[in-house]
Structures are given as C-alpha cells and as structure tokens.
Amino acid sequence: MKTGGIINNYYAFIFILTLFYGAVFCFSGFVGTPFGSFKDLIVLVLQWGVVLFATYGLLMVISVCKYVFSVVFPLLTTLCTILAYFSYTANVQLTPMLIDLTFVNDARTWMGVIDFWLVAVTVLSFVLSVIVASYRFRHIKSGFYESILNLIIGILIILITNIWVSKFVNPVAERLPYNIFHSFLRYYNDKKVALEERNTFTVMPHTDVDSLNVVLVIGESLRSDHLQMNGYHRETTPLLMQDSCISLPNVYTEPCYTHLSVPHMLTRADSVNTGRAFTEQSFVTIFKQAGYRTAWISNQDQADTYVYFMNECDTLIYANSGKSLYIIDKWLDSDILPAYKKLLGEKADKKLILMHTIGSHWYYTTHFYEETSKFKPNIKSKIVSSNTKEEMINSYDNTIVETDRFIHQIIDGLRGSDAVLIYLSDHGESLGEDGYFLHGTDRSELHYPACFVWFSDGYKKKYPAKVDALKRNARRRLRTDFLFHSIIGAASIESVYKEESLDIFK
C-alpha cells in the first residue's frame, strides 16, 4: 500500500506540472489560431491534448532521477518562460533562423529586446522551478524498479508523439517544450548541409557586363492560371500588367513541393539528372565567379534541401526569422523591402539578389491585410474543411494581389538601372478541384507555377536581342530546369555549363 501511494504521489506530481506547462507554455503555440465552429475548437483542443501528452512523457523522463530533475527542470522551465513570453507578446517562435541570428547579432542587438517584464517573469519562473525541484528532491520517492518503469513509459510517450505517429509529429515539434529540441536539431542539420562539400564549376565563366542588377523572386504556391496577365477573369495582377511583364504561362515543374522544387530550379537538375539538386552548387556560384555580389533574402522557414544555396550567397538575410506556420500572425512579403533597398544601395556594380517569398502559402489571410483585400468573404478558420470554396479562392486571390503590389515595389527600385527580374513560383495550389485543397496531394494544378519576367528600359536598350528572344520564347512549353540556364543568359554570362537550348534569352 505504501508503494502504491508513492507511485500515485509521483504521477500526481507529474500531472500537475504537465497542466502548468500546458496552460502556460504549450498554450502559447495555439493563441490566435482562428476557428470557425465548435468542431474546429474541438480539433484544436485535441491537438493541445496531444502536446500535453507528449509533455507528460518528457517530464516523466527528466524526473526519474531527482539529481537530473534538480538541474534540468529549472533550466527547461526558465527557457520555456522566455520563449513563451516572446510568443505571447510578439508572436515570435523559436526557429533555426532565429538561432542563427542569435549567434550572428551582437549583445547590443539582443539587449534591445529585453524589458522589465521579461526579466521579472524569468526570475519568478526560475525561483518557482527551483522550489519545485527542491520539493521533488525531498518528498517524491520511488524505488528502483518503479523508476525504470516510469522511464520506459516516458520514453514510449516521447517516441509515440515525436516519431511513431506521424500525425502527432508536427503539432508537437512546433510547440513548447519540444520546439526547443527540434529547432536546435534542425539548426545543426542545416549547418551541416551548408558546410558540406559539393561539386563545383571548375571552368570559370566570362562576362563583359560592367553593371547589371539581376533579381530572382522565388514564389510560393502561385499557380499560373490565377494571374490576370494569363487571362484569369479577376484583376489579380493589374500593377504587373502596367509594368509590361512578360508572362511564361506554360512552365511545368516536376516536383510540386517546396523542399524539392527549389533545389531543382536553382541547379542543373532535370528529369534525367535529378540528383544534381543535392550534389552540385547552384548558379549562384557561377555569378560569384563572374564578379557578381550575391545575396539571399529569406521570408520563409529554411529547409535542409535548399539551405546550402542560401549560404552559397555572399549575404544571407532573414526577413522574418521568428515566423512559423504554427504562429498565426501577419507574415508579409513587404517585410523584405527594407533589406532589399539596403542591398540596392550597396557599392557593387553587378548584383544578384534572390528573394524567397511566403507568397500564397496557407494560411492565406496572414499574407495580406484584411482592409486591403479585394475579394470577399475571406477564410475564417485554419481548418480547411470549415471554409467554403468561395472563401478559399477569394483569400488565395488576395495573396496574389499582395504579390502584385510587392513585385511592383521591387520593380520600382530597379527602374533607373540596367536590370532584369525573373519570378518563378515553386509550385501551384489545389483550390477545390475534385475536393482537393492546398498542395498535400500530387495533382495536375500543382505542376504549373506562375512565371514572368520584367526588364528595365536600360536593359532593353543594351540587350535588345535578349528581349526579342524572351518574347519569342514566352509561349514555349518549359520545365523549371530552364531557370539555371536562362538566368545565366539574362546576365550575359558565358559558361560551358549553360545549355543554349534552355536559355529563353537566346
């Protein structure tokens, strides 16, 4: 009876700690998540319950040994307090990009985000966690076999929620306290990929260009047939049509997921040599060899499949380092503009600027302002099935209007120089065809991404043959592997690695 009482006391102790973590830390990952019905609320509560279940397992593991608990629990609780504070007050979540910036920025930068309340709640959290650890040390007793059993149960819970049941993995990994481990793991893996050796281009390129700005905008989930310039019945791209952009409506992407399509388009990878996307460097290296200053501005969460190319550039800038798809907050491509304007002002005659945009990624309404939305009603819930098809399409089209406005501002910064801009989305999006939405299932509409080109008057005057070739090739059926060869051609770089037949400027 005494042993049973001790076990119950131990489980009650872990249960109370789990409820505290769930109410204070785990809940920070759900604040602001929109729902349109009671059913949606139940789904969110169930997700929260899964995170609590996973947290229960973690707390069981670290509390098995009172000495380990005395050290780990105060540290974990204090760190969770700091991260939850920023999540509640600034909608910022721990990400590999944020970790990277932590090591890059100096102390003065981080001192600017520390305020009285952060210090107060952190100190309070640490003191309370030390008291809890002391209570565990003095009052919670368990025998050897009971401890082994608790350890096994805790490990099983962690494995179930983090590895074995796939539906549990993302909700758990993206929220406290597991978000800490998974973010640092991704950061480590990304750094390992960024530092790996890849096949390089040993034959040096040649160019006679002395001044040129080349901009590549990597779009997100933007399908070709929803562009007004391609005959879509809605005014989704009025500004780009004023800018006389040339659309390439027949571009096909083999991969229809970001983590595969981006490395495919940046390298010499094609339908035959798909492995080049993960063994070779991108066209960024050729631009650097040709004397271009290169920069990557990211407005997306980085992935290990293309983080190498981000670090291939001379400069890497994160526009929204603390954003996550699990934090519902405004996530706009216009946040790129300050860094972009700063890059344009740098002293470099030849520049290559790549921008990875958030574009038309789900959850759509976070990527435009409600007051500027052209098509209504908009979606009201993050649970896709709770929104009507009309709301889904309206909100999706509003993201395109925002992209139209954003690209127009990018173009404004290039008008007075010799410049060329290429926009290519990573893939399309399903919008209710046969009942399918987003891009979780391989369907035909995902394989036709939006693509268009803009060039300045100075570029047209200096390279009339390239402009004429672009206009001739605009209706060609192309695969996204054209980009590697065409962007080199647009920059007037001569390279043995460029296939002339895939250069739309030839």
How confident is the model over 25-75, as pLDDT tens digits?
A: 999 999 888 888 899 999 999 999 999 999 999 999 999 999 999 999 999
Distance CA 84, CA 80 (A): 6
Question: What is the CATH architecture assignment of 218-502?
Answer: 3-Layer(aba) Sandwich (3.40)
What 3-state class would DSSP assign to 213?
Answer: strand
Residue 329 pLDDT level (bands cut at 50, 70, 90)? confident
Q: Measured between alpha carbons, how far is residue 311 from residues 173, 185, 260, 294, 354 in Å?
A: 25, 18, 17, 10, 12
Q: Measured between alpha carbons, how far is residue 373 from residues 26, 142, 335, 403 in Å?
A: 32, 60, 18, 12
Our separate counts of H helices and E strands in the chain read 19, 11
> What pTM does this model have?
0.88
Structure-block tokens of residue 92: 């910022």
Listed by start position, the domains of the chain span 2-194, 218-502
| Amino acid 32: pLDDT | 84
Distance CA 353, CA 241 (A): 23
Least confident among 320-324, 400-404, 415-419: 320-324
Smallest CA-to-CA distance from 426 within 273, 218, 216, 268 is with: 218
How confident is the model over 370-413, as pLDDT tens digits?
A: 988 999 999 999 989 999 999 999 999 999 999 999 999 999 99
Residue 166 pLDDT level (bands cut at 50, 70, 90)? confident
CA 448 to chain centre: 21
Q: State the amino acid at position 140 in one-letter form.
A: I
How confident is the model over 347-375, as pLDDT tens digits?
A: 899 999 999 999 999 999 999 999 889 99
Residue 112 pLDDT level (bands cut at 50, 70, 90)? low
Smallest CA-to-CA distance from 99 within 113, 118, 83 is with: 83
Question: 491 — alpha (psi -120 to 50), left (phi > 0) or beta?
Answer: alpha
Q: What percent of the chain has pLDDT over 70?
A: 96
Whether pLDDT at 416 is above 80: yes
| Amino acid 99: pLDDT | 87
Structure-block tokens of residue 213: 């700005």
Residues 432/437/441/443 CA torsion (nearest 10 deg): 40
Q: What percent of the chain has pLDDT over 90?
A: 81
